[in-house]
Structures are given as C-alpha cells and as structure tokens.
C-alpha cells in the first residue's frame, strides 16, 4: 500500500514533467532536471485542481482516477510524437562526471541522506503531523475523502478549523486515499517527503541553470542540512509546499530573463496560482508576481503578461470557485476593527524586532545560518556576477515580507502569540528563495576552484 502510494505520487511527477517538456521541449540535461523537479508541483498541483473541479461539477468520483491515468498516457503519447517529429533519434548523451563532479555528487548524497533520515526520524514520531497538520490540512483531507460528493456542502458549515484554507495538500492526500480505498496515515507523510525532495531538487536545478551544477549542489547541501527543513516537512504543514511554489515562481520569472524562453512565464503563472492554492499567503504573492511580470514586460516593451496569465488562469478559476463557498477567514473578518493598529508604533517595533531576531536565529544550527551566509557572501568579494534581471528575486522577497509585516500589523489576535505560532513558518516560505538569490550572485565552486581562478 505504501509503495503504491509512492508510485501514485511518482506518476503525478512524471505527468508534471511531461507537461513541462511538452510546452518547453529543451533537451539539455539542466533543463530536463529543472522540468523533473517542476514536475512535483505541476503534477500534484494540476491534479489537485482537476480533482477539485471534478468534485465541483459533481462528476462521478470513482471515474476520476481512470481519467487521470488516461491523461497521463495521453501526455506520454504527445511527448513521444513531439520527440519523433523533431527527428530526435539519439538518446540523451550523459557525460561521465569529472572527479570534482563525483565529489560533489557524494556530498549531495550525504546531505540528502541527512535530510531524509531526519525527516523520517521525526515523521514516524508524529505520524499525524503536528497540530495544524491534523487540525487543518489532514482533517480537511478526511472530510474530502469521507464525505465525497457531500464535501462541498459541508465547507460552509465550519465543521473544522479554517475550512477556508486552500486545498492543494488536502486534495492530494484525499485523492490518493480514494485510489487506495483506505485513509492510510503514511500518505500525508509520503506527500511531505515528496515536497521536501522537490524543494531541494528545484533549488539545485534552478541554480544549475543560473550558474552551474556545482552551485546547485552547494545550494542543495545548504538547504538539506538546515534542521528546519526536515522538521517543517515532517510536521506535515503546507508551508514547505508553499516555499516550493514561491521559489518556483520567482526562479522561473528570473530564468526567463536569462534564457528568454517565454514558455517559462506560463509555468511561472501556474506556479504563482498554485501558491494561493496551497496557502492563503499565496494571494499576495500572486499580486506581487503578476506586477513583477507586468513591469518586466514594460521594461522589454513586450506583452509578457499574457503568457503569465495563461498559466495563472486555471488555478485562479479554482480559487475563485472555492472561495465562493468558504466562510470568511478570521483575519479578514476583523480587518475593519484592527485598522487603527496601523498607528500603533510600539506594535510596529515589536514586529520588526521579532522578525529580525527570527532571521538571525532561523534554521536550527547552533550558530546563525543567516550570519554564516552573509559572511560567505561578503568574503566572496570582487567576484559577484549578475545574469538577467535579478531585481525580480529581490522584489518577490521584499514585497512578500512587507505583506507578512502587514498581516501582523493588522492581526486581530495578540500579535506576540500570533508571531510565536507562525513567524518561523512565514520566514521559511522565503528562505529557499533567499538562498537562491544569494547563490545566483556568488561565484560557484567550479569557478572558485578553476585553475585560472583570479
């Protein structure tokens, strides 16, 4: 059963990869790797959107799994036809790795072992996840799985905590339970592991395109060895998938400015939509990413927004339908009475100092990861290199942080309690993207160890 659950998620990843390859048929190894790790989000994300729409339009539930399988086969056929039509007859050439490549490979394997073992050691201690996991995401999955067609009628009844929270995680769990015919506790754990590995791979493959494979390996090692990563993953919160989609959206927008491939903007739009399909914090990120794409188009005197919006369309459609039946979120419900908190400067001070303390202590190392990374970045002085429009990454991080600041400024809850229960997770949303930004600026290990290094 557990192996079957793994296979179902792997099939979704392959489906996502094929979708990406169909739309962006680049065959170099770096592009293929990026598409594979994009497949985690594309496959699980699009599948959850389709499942939601299937439920919304009251189509027969037992048929959905077969429809998904047919779509997978169809994607495979289309990719095969596409490859044949390009006259591609040679298999992909894989060059034997150099000694340094082998060394980095070993280091990456060690880092992955550390991340996966830490994840499993924690996840098996808390098989239902930590409170928000069973109280929000997994209970939502149980209602979707158990109530079936009745589920949409139950949502407005406020039957569980925060039924307004988006559905990517819950639907992915519920759908696999439906296929298996049983609500296995291990399924949410497997999904969490899939997203953790997806996040690590996405960071590495995106850095490989922006810099090279060794910089990708370095990024993956840094992120995998941060205790907060397997910790948050094993908690089964939706924060790690959200960090994945934040990274994906911003990285794809940025990589477009390097590769000039407009199809990447379509994926960026889809990923942006999936941020809000994962957690409500994605709603502000959609606005930030859309504005960024618009400004990018203005700077290039091209209508780039049409590609982005084409990708955003499907998730946005599902989000609008979903929000039309959910109860109002408690933060928005109290917005009018909390407006005056804007003028409370002591509140601003409390929030800013808490955020600064969190950045400095974030990660779970005995020493500050932020300080270590900053020192590393500063000491690589004189060797910064910038490709493409890196301001996109800065804008995404800074604007989303401002949005989080605003949430704490206006929260109707006690701000200290609210921050104690959420600030670490909010910072985590942007951490992989921050590592991506920093390493995109710095020389890679390959450049540093090159014989002609200066």
Partner 1 sequence: MFFVFFRRLLVIVLVAISLTFGVYHSFLLFQIWDPQAGVKDEVSVWENRMQPIKGNLPPAVTTVGYLAEWDMPGVVYGKTDQFHEFNLTVYSLAPLIVRRGAEAEWIVGNFGSQPTKKIEAWLNTLLGSYKLEALGSGIYLIHRVKQ
Q: Which two tokens stand for residue 247?
A: 């990274």
* 73: exposed, middle or buried (Cβ count in 10 Å: 0-12, 13-18, 19+): exposed
Among residues 46, 191, 222, 240, which is the contact residue for partner 1, using CB under 8 A?
222
Chain-centroid distance of CA 34 in Å reads: 13
Size of the site for partner 1 (CB under 8 A): 53
- For residue 436, the minimal CB distance to partner 1 (Å) is 16
Among residues 65, 79, 83, 151, which is the contact residue for partner 1, using CB under 8 A?
151
Q: Which two tokens stand for residue 107?
A: 């280091």
Piece in contact with partner 1 (CB under 8 A), picked from 46-54, 78-86, 365-373, 398-406: 365-373
Among residues 37, 134, 285, 431, which is the contact residue for partner 1, using CB under 8 A?
134
For residues 289 and 273, give the distance between their C-alpha atoms in angstroms, rounded to a whole number: 10
Alpha carbon separation from 53 to 18, 168, 240, 264, 322 (Å, rounded) = 22, 12, 24, 25, 10
- For residue 230, the minimal CB distance to partner 1 (Å) is 8
Piece in contact with partner 1 (CB under 8 A), picked from 107-115, 268-276, 347-355, 420-428: 107-115
- For residue 129, the minimal CB distance to partner 1 (Å) is 8
Among residues 143, 177, 277, 436, which is the contact residue for partner 1, using CB under 8 A?
143
Q: In terms of CB distance, is 160 or 294 closer to partner 1?
A: 160
Q: In terms of CB distance, is 3 or 454 closer to partner 1?
A: 454
- For residue 372, the minimal CB distance to partner 1 (Å) is 7
Among residues 124, 298, 360, 417, which is the contact residue for partner 1, using CB under 8 A?
124
Q: What is the dihedral of CA 382, 392, 277, 8, to 10 degrees?
A: -50
Q: 411-450 burial, b if ≥16 CB within 10 A, otherwise e?
A: beeebeebbeebbbbbbbbbbbbbbbbbbbbbbbbbbeee
How many other CB atoms are there within 10 angstroms of residue 128's CB atom? Answer: 14
Cβ atoms of 432 and 232 closer than 8 Å = no
- Which residue spans within 202-254 are E strands per DSSP? none
CA gyration radius for the chain? 22
Tell me: does residue 117 bind partner 1 (CB under 8 A): yes
- For residue 233, the minimal CB distance to partner 1 (Å) is 13
Piece in contact with partner 1 (CB under 8 A), picked from 69-77, 197-205, 306-314, 379-387: 379-387
Picking from 4, 38, 2, the residue whose alpha carbon sits closest to that of residue 18 is 38
Q: Please, what is the Cα angle at 366 between 250 and 226, to 5 degrees?
A: 30
Q: In terms of CB distance, is 376 or 394 closer to partner 1?
A: 376
For residues 208 and 446, give the distance between their C-alpha atoms in angstroms, rounded to a whole number: 11
Tell me: does residue 360 bind partner 1 (CB under 8 A): no
Q: What is the distance in angstroms between the CA of the first residue and the CA of the last residue of the chain?
A: 55
Tell me: does residue 364 bind partner 1 (CB under 8 A): yes
Q: In terms of CB distance, is 141 or 270 closer to partner 1?
A: 141
How many other CB atoms are there within 10 angstroms of residue 126's CB atom? Answer: 15
Positions touching partner 1 (CB under 8 A) are: 107, 110-111, 114-115, 117-118, 121-122, 124-128, 131, 134-135, 138-139, 142-143, 145-147, 150-151, 154, 157, 159-161, 218, 221-222, 224-227, 364-366, 372, 376, 379-380, 382-383, 443, 445, 448-449, 453-454
């Amino acid at each position: 059963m557990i192996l079957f659950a793994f296979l179902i998620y792997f099939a979704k990843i392959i489906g996502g990869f094929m979708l990406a390859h169909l739309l962006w048929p680049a065959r170099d190894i770096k592009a293929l790797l990026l598409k594979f790790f994009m497949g985690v989000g594309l496959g699980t994300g699009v599948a959850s959107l389709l499942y939601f729409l299937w439920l919304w339009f009251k189509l027969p539930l037992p048929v959905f799994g077969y429809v998904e399988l047919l779509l997978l086969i169809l994607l495979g056929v289309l990719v095969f036809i596409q490859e044949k039509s390009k006259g591609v007859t040679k298999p992909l050439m894989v060059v034997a790795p150099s000694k340094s490549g082998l060394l980095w490979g070993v280091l990456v394997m060690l880092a992955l072992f550390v991340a996966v073992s830490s994840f499993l050691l924690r996840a098996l201690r808390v098989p239902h996840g930590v409170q928000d996991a069973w109280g929000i995401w997994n209970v939502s999955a149980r209602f979707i799985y158990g109530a079936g067609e009745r589920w949409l009628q139950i949502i407005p009844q406020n039957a569980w905590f925060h039924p307004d929270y988006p559905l990517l995680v819950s639907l992915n769990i519920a759908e696999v339970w439906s296929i298996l015919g049983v609500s296995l506790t291990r399924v949410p754990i497997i999904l969490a592991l899939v997203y953790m590995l997806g996040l690590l791979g996405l960071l590495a493959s995106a850095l490989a395109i922006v810099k090279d494979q060794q910089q990708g390996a370095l990024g993956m090692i840094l992120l995998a060895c941060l205790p907060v990563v397997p910790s948050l993953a094993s908690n089964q919160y939706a924060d790690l998938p959200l960090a994945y989609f934040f990274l994906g959206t911003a990285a794809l927008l940025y990589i477009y400015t390097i590769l000039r491939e407009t199809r990447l903007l379509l994926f960026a739009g889809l990923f942006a939509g999936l941020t809000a399909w994962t957690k409500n914090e994605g709603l502000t990120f959609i606005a930030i990413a859309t504005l960024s794409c618009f400004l990018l188009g203005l700077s290039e005197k091209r209508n780039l927004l049409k590609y982005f919006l084409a990708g955003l369309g499907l998730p946005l459609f599902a989000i609008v339908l979903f929000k039309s039946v959910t109860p109002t979120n408690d933060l928005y419900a109290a917005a009018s009475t909390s407006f005056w908190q804007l003028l409370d400067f002591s509140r601003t001070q409390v929030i800013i100092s808490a955020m600064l303390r969190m950045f400095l202590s974030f990660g779970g190392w005995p020493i500050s990861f932020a300080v270590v990374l900053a020192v590393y970045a500063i000491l690589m002085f004189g060797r910064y290199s910038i490709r493409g429009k890196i301001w996109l990454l800065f804008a995404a991080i800074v604007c989303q942080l401002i949005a989080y600041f605003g949430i704490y400024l206006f929260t109707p809850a006690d701000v200290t309690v609210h921050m104690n229960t959420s600030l670490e997770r909010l910072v985590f949303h942007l951490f992989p993207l921050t590592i991506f930004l920093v390493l995109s600026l710095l020389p890679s290990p390959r450049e540093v160890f090159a014989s002609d290094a200066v």
